[in-house]
Amino acid sequence: MERIKVYKGKEWLAKFFVVFGILYTLIALGLLIKYSIAGFDFHFPSGDWSSVMFFFQGVLFVIMGIASLKSRKYFIEWDEKEMRFFLPGTKVVDSVIIDDIKSVNIKLFEIELELKNGPKKINLENLEFEDIRKIKGKLEKLQKRT
């Protein structure tokens, strides 16, 4: 079975972003509490905004890390009998039985499959060039067969 990931991010980098963002946020909250409790004249319109900016940067790092970890779930895979794909914009894993394919129309970033039960489109916008070439090569073999 051959499997292609749609987004090829590094897992360690995404986890680093989450951990770094949480630490950054906690430090910013600590500084904010320290300066507001310590008796300093801490008024936001004219005071020190750096801890607030640190807080937002930490939250941004956490969001970036979580988004990168979530995007790793998208894939396209196939074997001799079936083709399965889970692409951005869909909520379930789609599968196509190879024997049900009547015709294949290959476009630049889209593949239209004519199946026994109706047409199906596969959007390849988010894949890298080499992965698109690999998928198109597999489907061209099917196109010649049908």
Domain extent listing, the chain: 8-72, 74-145
By CB neighbour count within 10 A (0-12 exposed, 13-18 middle, 19+ buried), where does 45 fall?
exposed
- Terminal alpha carbon distance of the chain: 22
Q: Give the pLDDT confidence score for residue 108 in this predicted structure.
A: 84
Across residues 5-20, what is the average pLDDT?
A: 89
Q: Give the pLDDT confidence score for residue 37 in this predicted structure.
A: 67
Q: Which residues contact 111 (CB under 8 A, 6 or more apart)?
A: 104, 105, 121, 122, 124, 135, 136, 139
Q: Give the pLDDT confidence score for residue 94 in this predicted structure.
A: 87
Q: Give the pLDDT confidence score for residue 115 in this predicted structure.
A: 86
Across residues 58-78, what is the average pLDDT?
A: 90
- 74-145, what's its fold? PH-domain like (2.30.29)
- Residues 94/84, Cβ–Cβ less than 8 Å: yes
Within 10 A of 104 (CB to CB), how many other CB atoms are there?
Answer: 19
Within 10 A of 66 (CB to CB), how many other CB atoms are there?
Answer: 14
